Amino acid sequence: MNELSIANASRRDFLKASAGLTLAFYLPSGIAAKAGGAASFAPNAFVRIGSDDSVTIVAKHLEMGQGTYTGLPTLVAEELDADWAQLRVEGAPADAKRYNNLLWGKMQGTGGSSAIANSFEQMRRAGATARAMLVAAAAQRWQVPAAAITVRRGVVMHTASGRTARFGELAAAAAQLPVPEQVTLKSPQDFVYIGKRVPRTDSKSKTHGTAMYTQDVQLPGMLVALVAHPPRFGGKVKSFDAARTKAVRGVVDVVAVPSGVAVLGRDFWSAKRGRDVLKVVWDEAAAFRLGTPEIVSRYQALLDQPGIVARKDGDAAAALAGAAKRLTADYSFPFLAHAAMEPLNCVIRAGADLCEVWNGEQFQTGDQDNIAAVLGIKPEQVWINMLYAGGSFGRRANPHSDYLVEAAQIAKAIRGRAPVKLVWTREDDMHGGYYRPLYLHRLAGGLDAGGRPVAWSQRIVGQSIQAGTAFESAMVKAGVDRTSVEGAANLPYAIPNISVDLHSPKLGVPVQWWRSVGSTHTAFAVETFIDELAHAAGKDAVQFRRALLAQHARHLGVLELAANQAGWGSALAPGKAGEKRGRGIAVHESFNTFVAQVAEVTVRPDGGFGVDRVVCAVDCGIAVNPDVISAQMEGGIGFGLAAALYGEITLKDGVVEESNFPDYPLLRINEMPQVEVHVVASAEKPTGVGEPGVPVIAPAVANALFAATGQRLCKLPLRLA
């Protein structure tokens, strides 16, 4: 695979014809496109075939590590019968008319592990359409019936006469033909790429330091902006003194914006040095001032009161009262920062009726709307150039476009005088809010005399992520934010009496989705509590679950696969003297993907522990690229483990206490377990894999720690007594 360019059509055309250009960069939806060479052929918004034989796939989804820039071209290549080495990937411009996420209605964006799920047919159709037109062009040229023509690995062939042509040779002729209305997609048994490993398209550039991230964008005359933010959420600038800042070499300007005071410099270091000596007086009249302990005690009071019902089967209270055995447990989950390796940033160039943005862009439509509102232009006048994101885990899809709006405010404050790269330092990023909310859960369960569960009740307390966002009307129904209860309200276990209810208190800490969203907490509470019930019933954790999952074949499938592959039931090799070992399992569905994991732990005499091995089974329907799926499970396990071991954002008097990796540790290589991933063979439609590996590891580890030590841990991060 050649090095990929991720330059984007809008950018290139903008450069070609910048002066006075309005919106002429859009590719025509019909025949020849102007981008990519004179004789290029673009039958639709997703595929462009150049006379140089290159096949460019326009990717509508952000590549943030999860493999979209490999998965999306795989789907096109499959139906086009292209050679993998011909493919190039280009980020789509912001244009929801053509590039909306089919699972998000009219909005363009990436999230909810939906990239492959929503594109599976669309991208295959795009490839099949291009193929049909190349075949038609060859049929015309060779005067043979289209049905007698085959295509293999980028070569169009008429076997009877031995004639062949490469795509590039047919591109110009194909561009003159009508786009077919109907195309036939391959049957799965004919797939040559789907289901096999194809190499990632971004490996080469990312191993040679040439991949372009937002942080790497340099424009002529560009200034770098750092913003002094208020120390507490809800604070505002009262006044500032920039005298010393302006004396710093390389500082060009200092401007107030609604979110703080921006220092603009010729480079990062100048702006940073300038900000270090800036004096700001903050207006904290409306600032948030609670600390974590106070938040927790307020939430605890809510745990005692009934919430809004999210699920009610039978009568859980009565069944609990009549149960032979009752168990209860309270859980607590801290705020979590996304802490992507690339701190938040974006580049913006604002003109009178055009604003151009460079970003690892996760939510085009919302960001266009919000930036346009700041600048007083139309959303379609906000052009977004797609770059790789150095991780995101949800953070770059902010419903309020926080950092993009901040960049737009800076551009506005300097009246578009220069392009601006807004850079958040690691500390800014960690203090910047939009955390996974803090949640408390209260679980209660009852067993009958035979050890069968008869009652399950779960109460959840925590902020709504969707309240006040563009998603609220779709995601919050009758007071229940679906993302607060997902993974709990859809409890798969066959228990006759189930109650799940919810409190969504308002709090001045900005919150957001964090890789696997509601399942980050619900999977832990559900999967450790079911384990506790199994133990109380005197049953094996796998058998207990299996008996309750008869109606859920896919849960059962991954549960059994993981258990078998892990040697569930066999004795674990003993640890060194004084060490204790244990094995635990958990199973969970998120984003329509099913994952089970078995974790093996070793507890040291000092109470420290390590996770040695994880066996993971995943059912995500048709496995488009099994290697990318494995990578997402491996990475998801490591990401989930970081939260299980360390993840915790705390507040004191409203101030976030953590600021950088020394006090918000991430997982290190020496803490990464051996991971084995087993992908279930399936003919179901493909579902996402970016998130579903994450939520399962913490409960599997907690259950393993219980097996090793007898201690039930209900508070994250996990700490043994």
Partner 1 sequence: MLTLNVNGVHHRVDVAADMPLLWVLRDRLGLTGTKYGCGVGACGACTVHIEGKPARACRTPASAAAGKRVTTIEGLHSRAAKAVQAAWESLDVVQCGYCQSGQIMTAASLLAANPKPSDADIDAAMAGNLCRCATYHRIRAAIHDAAKRLA
Kindly state whether residue 65 participates in binding ligand FES, applying the rule CB under 6 A.
yes
Among 247, 341, 474, 553, binds ligand FES (CB under 6 A): 341
Query: Per rule CB under 6 A, is residue 660 in the interface with ligand FES?
Result: no
Give residue number: closest CB to ligand FES.
Answer: 341
Q: Count residues contacting ligand FES (CB under 6 A)?
A: 3
How large is the angle between the packed helices 541-548 and 519-536, nearest 10 degrees? Answer: 110
Q: Cα 528 to the chain's mean position, in Å?
A: 25
Cβ of residue 48: shortest distance to partner 1, in angstroms?
Answer: 25
Question: Which residue is listed with tokens 């919000």?
Answer: 370
Site string for ligand FES, 264-283 (x = CB under 6 A): --------------------
Closest approach of partner 1 to the CB of residue 344, in Å: 12
Closest CA to 118 of 69, 61, 62: 61
Rule CB under 6 A: say whether 146 interacts with ligand FES: no
Tokens of 331: 């859980």
CA distance 597 to 285: 48
Tell me the torsion sign for CA atoms 477, 479, 484, 490. negative
Is the CA virtual torsion 408, 413, 417, 419 positive or negative?
negative
Looking at residues 382 to 421 of the shown chain, list those that interact with ligand FES (rule: CB under 6 A): 391
Report, in Å, the least distance between residue 634 CB and partner 1. Answer: 5
Subset of residues 280 to 319 that bind ligand FES, contact rule: CB under 6 A: none
Q: By C-beta, is 67 or 433 nearer to ligand FES?
A: 67
Q: Give phi and psi for 596, each to the nearest 5.
A: -125, 145
Beta strand 497-503 with 453-462 is parallel
Closest CA to 466 of 431, 506, 430, 522: 506
CA distance 523 to 515: 13
- In angstroms, give the least distance from the CB of 65 to ligand FES: 5
Q: How far is CA 430 from the centre of its chain?
A: 18
> Smallest Cα–Cα separation from 282: which of 246, 252, 241?
241
Nearest distance in Å: CB 211, partner 1: 5
Query: In whole angstroms, how far apart are CA 358 and each of 214, 287, 362?
Result: 6, 32, 12
C-beta of 230 vs 391, nearer to ligand FES: 391
Binding partner at 631 among ligand FES, partner 1, none, C-beta below 5 to 8 Å by kind: partner 1
Closest CB to partner 1 among residues 508, 717? 717
Task: List Cα–Cα distances, 710 to 101, 221, 542, 579, 705, in angstroms.
Answer: 46, 63, 18, 14, 7
Nearer to ligand FES, 587 or 642 (CB): 642
Rounded to a whole number of angstroms, the minimum distance from the CB of residue 75 to ligand FES is 23
Q: How does DSSP classify residue 335?
A: B
Site string (570-609) toward ligand FES, x via CB under 6 A:
----------------------------------------
Is the CB of 138 or the CB of 598 nearer to partner 1? Answer: 598
Q: Which residues bind partner 1 (CB under 8 A)?
A: 64-67, 199-200, 202-213, 215-216, 218, 224, 249, 266-269, 273, 339-343, 388-393, 425-426, 627-628, 631, 634-639, 641-642, 660-662, 666-670, 672, 674-675
What is the total residue count of the chain? 721
CA distance 698 to 525: 10
Residues 336 and 393: beta-carbon distance below 8 Å: no
Least distance to partner 1, CB of residue 367, Å: 19
Question: Structure tokens of 334?
Answer: 């801290």
Q: Which residues bind ligand FES (CB under 6 A)?
A: 65, 341, 391
